Amino acid sequence: TATRDTLKMAPAISTVAVNPGIYAAAPGGERRPGRVSKASQRSSAPKVAPGGGRRALSHRRVEDGLSVSSETNRTSIITAAGVNVEQELARAENQLRAMLSPDTPAPSSSEVRAMRRKIADLKAGKVPSATGVSMPTPPPTSNGAANGQEMRDPRKELERLKRENEALLQLKELEMENLRLKNAPQADLDKKQQEMNTLLQKKQELAHVMELEENVRAKALAQKDQKAAQEKADQVAKQELEAMQRKEAQEAAQQAAEATAAQLEAEALAAATAAEESAEAQALAAQMEQKTEAESLATAEAAAAQAEAEAQTQAQRAAEIDAKAAQAAAEAEAAYLMEAERKALEAEQRKANAVSAEDDEAAMLAAAFGATQEKELVTAKVGAQEAEAGVEDFEAAALVTGDVGSMEHIRKKEAEERAKAEAKEAAAAAARAARAAMENAEAIKSATAVYKEKSDIYKSAEAEAAAAADARAKAIAEAKAKALAAAKAELARLQVVNKAETATKLRARNALTNQTLALGAEAKAKMAADSIAEAQSATEMAAASEISAVAERAALEAAVAVIKAIETAEEMAVIKRQTENDATEAKVNLDVLSSADPDAFRAHAAQAAHEKYEADLAAAEKAASDKQVAEKAATDRATSAKAAVEKAQFDKKDAETKAAKAIADDAAAKEAAAEEAAAAKAAAEEAAAAKAEAERIAAEKRAEEEAAAAEAAAVAARLQAMRERAEEDPLGACQEIDALVESGEGNAEDWAEARRQAEDTIGHLLHVVRAGTQPKIGDVWHVEPSEPVPGETLTIYYNAAATCLAGVKQYGSITCQSGCNNWESPEKTLMTPVKGRFKVNGKAVKAVKGSWWQKCEIDVPDEAFVMDFVFSDGGHQYDNNNRADYHIACEGAEEILEVERYEKSAELYYQLVEERIVREKREKERKERRDILRGIAKDKAAEVTRRQREHVLYVDPPQPRAGQTVRVHYNPRNTNLASSNEVYIIGGWNRWTHPDNIGPIKMVGQEGQSHVSAEFTVPDDVFKMDFVFASKPDGKGVFDNNNRLDYHVDILGGIDKATGEKLKEPPLHIVSISVEMAPIAKVGGLGDVVTSLGRACQEEGHKVEVILPKYDTLDYTAIQDFKEITGFSWGATYNRVFHGKVEDIDTYFIDPENGMFRVGMIYGTDYLEIPMTDAERFGFFSKAALEFMLQSKRQPDIIHCHDWQTAPCAKAYWEDYAPYGLNNPRVVFTIHNLNYGAELIQEAMTYSQAATTVSRTYRDEVSGHESIHENIGKFHGVVNGIDPDIWDPANDDFLPRYYDETEVIEGKAACRAALCAYSNIPNKPGVPMVGIVTRLTPQKGVHLIKRGVMRALERGCQVILLGTAPDPTIQQDFDMMFHQLKQNHHDFMAFHLYYNEPLSHLIYAGSDLLLVPSMFEPCGLSQLIAMRYGTVPVVRRTGGLNDTVFDYDVDHKKAEWEGMKPNGFSFDGMDDGAIDFALDRAINLAYDKPKDFRALQANCMSQDWSWNRPALEYIEIYHAARKPY
């Protein structure tokens, strides 16, 4: 059965087959079938994909020590489900063709062999078909990455095969050309030719198949078109039938509609008739109802009740006067009508009987008209020239009736009647004469009665006219009083308005803002009180306005009453005058009737009547004119009164609205005050708790400090006591220290170090003492006495002839150089020759022919244990006993040294303990300082983030609390919702995990403001508010989700309902898989990011682990507690796993026993003889890291893989591990440099849930790259930071002194002096120092670096460069440049063309300017480190350089946006002029304004470029990657 190990050997890239068995597997490396562990069961069991299929894997075959597995190779080239052999074969052959192309660099032999082996396997058909393999489908990403389709378009498939056939033909041509160039055998050429012939034959067959396919396609299309035409015809016929049916139905419906319309018309006519009958009743009812409503409304107006009552009283009085006047007018008019009737009767008596009927009808009409018009006197002008009295009477009657339109009819009828009367007159002449006497007698009687009646009426009308005049005067007086009251009310209203406006202006002047984000309870209460005062002022103003309106209305009503009284009086006067005229006329008529000459009196009466009529007409016209004037005045006053009433009503409603608003504001203010009070109380409680906690911490700290001080004092006392005991008993002291170390009270490291140092000093001397005199006493030298005594003299005898100094005898003498205790107290003594025989220590020295003995005396120091000697000729020729020197032990030295060694060990231990205590105390203080600075920097970063977010949203209060109300303010104009008509907020709590939701809530705004807002209550058990904004509430509109990160706000005071404890956000478990990690395996910036980001996330409370290859080049001194913990068999080898702490981060090291990472380097195996490339090694490691997590049962939240080296983790995780148990993590992928591994990067971009790069500008620069653009939606730019603990001038041991931003001048001056001394150039403090720390590669702008060096030297600056060039040509160019410039600028420049970490620290600290002219720079750390050390960067505006360096002259707004100040100089171009412009501006500032330049350096040091903000951004990206949608 195939094991799962073979599957894990898939290579890092799908186009290279992996051969992990290059090295023989260790014994036990393969899993035994008998093991029953879960991992073994999973490995040996059939591997079932999510779809249910199983990929069958064969065993590996081992031949000649190499592991060969066709199944592994076949598996390795499958990149996604649905990809077949032909596609992989075409891709592989294209890649091989590119490798062999003369336009590309020559590939390694291993790459060519691997590619050819892969092509051979593909041609042999060793890859299973797509239907036989079930590949797990990766989870859906934002781009909707999907598997390949199993069914393809035949035409497209044939075209693809044709393209691949042509590509293969081109490849074969290249292969044949390559073989010809290599002079390959003819057999190989023939074989290639046969393959080409086969491909040509396939090409012909393919063309034939394509032709057949085209024919089939054309036929199918024709059939399809025919079928479509038939279907269309059927459809047309069907539509015509349906149209006919619809037409018939429409005709029937029309007939029915006509019948129905007729019926409805009849019903409507009946209804109209009924409506007409009820219209008047309804109108009357409506008028009554309106009147009732008006009276109710008037009654409801409490403020105007009294004024309205007075107005009603005046109205009643005016109505009474009006009624009296109307009654008088009616009586006068009735009298006038009676007189008119009398005249008509008299005319009828004079005319025919027929005419009398018409006169009666006219009199009836006049009576009816007078009854309906109670208040109007109707007069009409008639012609005074009518000869006939009957015509005059008829016209008078017509004028009385006012029916001017019937005059023609009357005249016509009169003519007819006149003709009849004339016809009858002759016949009835006698009869009329007889009746005349009788009629005259009756007329006289009737005139007498009428005259008496008119006299009575006249008297009554005169009395009533006098009463009307009195009422008129009274009404005028009351109107004047009302007008005065209205004026006073208006004045009061204006005073109230002025008072309100003044109060409003004062409030507007005193109020700082009406849109304050957070108001205290007192401020809100004051605002509520102001609102209430304003409402009261508005109420007073409305009341005054209403009183004014009522008074004005009352004045108007009084004026109307006056007008009516005037009209009544005038009417009464007219009636009186008319009555007088009527009485006079009656008297005249009576006189006429009683006169003897009736005709003369009749003519005189007619003349008088005409004159009376003219006077009456003039009086009537004047009365009508006066009435019109009065009516117009009344109308104007009515309009004014109506406007005043409307204004009063409006003011009242406005006052009521303001009062309601004030009440609501007051309630809201009280509620807000209550909430504020509750919040204040909670804040006070929290502050009290914080204060108590701070006091507790301070007390604990004081107690700790006191305890530490006491402990230090105790330790010092104990050490002093131990020192004193050690002086008396050194051996006992050492034994006591041994006991303390064994018990754990002592420090084992300090004791080991003390013993080592003592052994290096005392032990060495003891070894010399025990070894005896060296060399032995004899032919070369003698000493007297044989054991030197400290404090006495020692005589040295030396035979130069027996040594290398034998030749000195011919030209000089011998010098003895002596010292003690390993050359302490050195001295030189000139030796003198010994003549003749001599004795040493009482023994004669044997004379040897040619001997040349010299002697000297030296004083033995009192502290000497061992004397040290060498001999010389006084110059450069020495005899040092073959580099062992001459030694002799002093008397009793061994015993003393034994004791001294114990004393030295004990004393060194005590000294190391004291130093460690001081060091730990200092480190603790530095850590506390760093923690304080880090807290300040984090607060600043959070504030900058909040401030940057305010242009989009802010919340009120700024720090919401659980259980309280929060209002979110959002500005859609600055987002993608700028064009939306509506905005909705949709959200949740606790990273969308809480059961409660927010909204959708429609956000509302105020006119003239850009922000909209929504308010809601925060639940009690939350710690985070999460929300997005949308244009529609149904989830189908446009969303603003903060580039897929959503918006989040921290909530304070949340309580866990289950436990009652304070809520806080659960930590994430993050595993970073990387091939670099600073400082143990660092090549570039990748290692710094992995370590620094891990530390920053860990400081935020999250769990961080790193998985790294165990290189044989690791810096093990930087790993704490390094040890092997476990191992696992996988990939045809056994993988040992080690654990250790690197910068306090848990780090796991994978060490495969196949030797992949035991090659003496991190990168570069592509150029070694071994057939394993970097891509294959790191591909193996990527999957081994996943296997380790699976077998160790880890379930992290995030797997963070970095760059192309670990990019295979993304695809391997979803295809080979997520379906088999490792299913909790989500993948985040970071691109550090897109110049390498683009294919692997594209794969990781597809399979990861979120992706990042190392700066925002670099993200924009590479967003169009083919590896990225399809997944741009989940691609974020986060600027890298630096670790402030590693790069800290206040704690950098590589510097001659520590300094911070308060000591920038002194600190940098000391560092510059040390830098110049190291570089062997004089220090010139008066000129700027330009530093360059870089790799000398084209990416870093080599030509601009050269130009920058030249320009700086031209401006008189000093320049120091540190860097290496991987390209020997570039390295040589800079070496030559240095030697050329050194001739003229030897005091101003130094090039260090090598890597030196301590020197880089010194350049960062000692330089004034740092030059970074990169062509492209994903992030860049040099400029960040330089600013940390107070060095001003001069950079090219690209990538991360653009995001971190703000030009001193032009980037003030940009710096302000980041919460900073300008910190450097930048340029855009790539030519000499561009860099000269930026460098000149920086140098000019240093020369011309040194004080400003030093302030700029201090500003650079004060800026926070740590991982505080980037870590928070990464944490948000981690959470976004884990969202379920």
- C-beta of residue 199 within 8 angstroms of C-beta of residue 164: no
At 160, the amino acid letter reads R
Which of 472-486, 866-880, 1210-1224 has maximum average pLDDT?
1210-1224
258-272, 501-515, 518-532, 1389-1403: segment of lowest average pLDDT? 501-515
Continuous segment of H or E residues that includes residue 1412 = strand 1409-1412
pLDDT score, position 78: 35
More confident residue, 634 or 730: 730
Pairing, β 1103-1109 against β 1145-1152? parallel
- Grade residue 490 by pLDDT with cuts at 50, 70 and 90: low
How far apart (Å, rounded) are the C-alpha atoms in residues 824 and 868?
9
pLDDT band at 42 (very low <50, low <70, confident <90, very high): very low
Res 938 pLDDT > 50: yes
* Residue 419 confidence (pLDDT): 60
The mean pLDDT of 1048-1052, rounded to a whole number, is: 94
Cβ–Cβ contacts within 10 Å for residue 1156, how many? 27
3-state secondary structure of 745: coil
| 3 state SS for 1164-1184 | CHHHCCCCCCHHHHHHHHHHH
Q: How far apart are CA 926 and CA 709, in angstroms?
A: 18
| Dist. CA 1093–CA 1510, nearest whole Å | 8
What is the per-residue pLDDT for 1275? 96
Contact indicator for 555, 483 with CB cutoff of 8 Å: yes
- Pairwise pLDDT comparison (1049 vs 14), residue with the higher score: 1049
Please, which residues bridge with residue 967 across strands?
Answer: 956, 1015
Nearest to 1141 by CA among 1111, 1104, 1113, 1178: 1104
Return d(Cα 1318, Cα 1312) in angstroms, integer. 10
Whether the pLDDT of residue 1073 is over 90: the answer is yes
Q: Which two tokens stand for residue 1356?
A: 């008189």
Of 499-508, 1162-1171, 1399-1408, 1501-1510, the range with the highest mean pLDDT is 1399-1408
**pLDDT single digits (tens) 958-971:** 999 999 999 999 99
Tell me which of 958 and 362 has the higher pLDDT.
Answer: 958
Asked if pLDDT for residue 375 goes beyond 60, the answer is: no
pLDDT at position 423, please?
57
Do the beta carbons of residue 871 and residue 814 sit within 8 Å? Answer: yes
Write down the pLDDT at residue 769. Answer: 86
Band of residue 304 on the pLDDT scale cut at 50, 70, 90: very low
Are residues 438 and 593 in contact, defined by beta-carbon separation less than 8 angstroms? no
Residues 500-518 have a mean pLDDT of: 47
If pLDDT is split at 50, 70 and 90, which confidence band does 1190 have?
A: very high
When mean pLDDT is compared across 536-545, 809-818, 1197-1206, 1276-1285, the lowest value belongs to 536-545
**pLDDT > 90 in the chain, percent:** 36
Higher pLDDT, 1252 or 247: 1252
What's the whole-number mean pLDDT along residues 1041-1068?
Answer: 92
pLDDT, residue 566, reads 61
Q: Nearest to residue 210, comparing CAs of 165, 170, 157, 152?
A: 157
Q: Which residues of 713-751 are buried (b: 16+ CB within 10 A; e: fewer)?
A: eeeeeebeebeeebeeebeebbebbeebbeeeebbeebb
**Is pTM beyond 0.85 here?**
no
Asked if residue 31 has pLDDT above 50, the reply is no
Quote the pLDDT of residue 923: 81
pLDDT at 281 over 60: no
1224: left (phi over 0), alpha (psi -120 to 50) or beta: alpha
- The three-state secondary structure class of 1429 is coil
Mean pLDDT of 816-831: 92
pLDDT-based confidence at 406, cuts 50/70/90? very low
The per-residue pLDDT for range 1364-1378, each reduced to its tens digit, is: 998 999 999 999 999
Is the pLDDT at 294 greater than 80? The verdict is: no
**Direct distance between the N- and C-terminal alpha carbons of the chain, in angstroms, rounded to an integer:** 39
1436 pLDDT tier (thresholds 50, 70, 90): very high
Please say if the pLDDT value at position 141 is more than 70.
no
Look at residue 1466 in the predicted model and tell me its pLDDT.
97
At residue 65, the pLDDT reads: 37
Q: What is the mean pLDDT of residues 439-447?
A: 60
**Mean pLDDT over residues 334-340, rounded?**
55
User: Is residue 2 over pLDDT 50?
Assistant: no
- The pLDDT, as a whole number, for residue 181 is 78
Q: What distance in Å separates the CA atoms of residue 766 and residue 426, rounded to the nearest whole number?
A: 193
Question: Which range is most confident: 68-77, 519-528, 922-931?
Answer: 922-931
The residue that leads in pLDDT, 1149 or 376, is: 1149
DSSP output for 200-244 = HHHHHHHHHHHHHHHHHHHHHHHHHHHHHHHHHHHHHHHHHHHHH
The 10s digit of each residue's pLDDT in 750-780 is 899 998 888 888 888 888 888 888 888 888 9
CA distances from 77 to 119, 402, 694 (A): 11, 117, 62
Whether the ω angle into residue 1000 lies within 30 degrees of 0, i.e. cis, is: yes
C-alpha distances in angstroms, 758 versus 749, 903, 904? Answer: 14, 9, 6
538 pLDDT band, cuts 50/70/90, is low
| pLDDT of res. 24 | 34
Assess whether pLDDT exceeds 80 at residue 391: no
In this model, does residue 1440 exceed pLDDT 80?
yes
Using pLDDT thresholds of 50, 70 and 90, give the confidence band for residue 386.
very low
Q: What is the pLDDT of residues 1100-1137, one digit of tens each?
A: 999 999 999 999 999 999 999 999 999 999 999 999 99
pLDDT score recorded for residue 371: 40
The pLDDT > 70 percentage for the chain reads: 68
Mean pLDDT of the chain: 77
316 vs 308: CA distance, rounded Å: 12
* Residue carrying the six token digits 């071994």: 1170
d(CA 431, CA 398): 31
pLDDT at 338 over 80: no
Span 646-664, mean pLDDT? 79
Q: What angle do CA 1459, 1461, 1463 make, to 5 degrees?
A: 125
List, for residues 1443-1464, the tens digit of each pLDDT value: 999 999 999 999 999 889 999 9
Q: Say how far apart CA 1525 and CA 1520 lie, in whole Å.
A: 9
715 or 1431, higher pLDDT: 1431
Whether 240 shows a pLDDT value over 70: the answer reads yes
Please give the pLDDT value at position 578.
63
Average pLDDT over residues 979-1007: 93
pLDDT classification of 288: cutoffs 50, 70, 90: low
Exposed/middle/buried for residue 243 (C-beta within 10 Å: 0-12, 13-18, 19+) = exposed
Round to whole Å and give the CA distance between 529 and 665.
Answer: 9
Give one DSSP letter per residue of 518-537, joined into a string.
S--HHHHHHHHHHHHHHHHH
Tens of pLDDT, residue by residue over 669-718, are 777 777 777 777 777 787 788 788 888 888 888 888 888 788 888 888 88
pLDDT of 1325 strictly over 50: yes
> What does the angle CA 210 – CA 216 – CA 217 come to, to the nearest 5 degrees?
85
| pLDDT tens profile 152-207 | 567 777 788 888 888 888 888 888 888 887 788 888 888 888 888 888 888 888 88
Nearest to 1516 by CA among 1090, 1024, 1029, 1051: 1024
pLDDT at residue 1261 above 90? yes
E strands in 981-1074: 984-989, 998-1002, 1004-1005, 1012-1017, 1024-1030, 1039-1040, 1047-1050, 1069-1073
Contacts of 520 (CB under 8 A, 6+ apart): 676, 680
Instruction: Say what the pLDDT of residue 826 is.
Output: 92
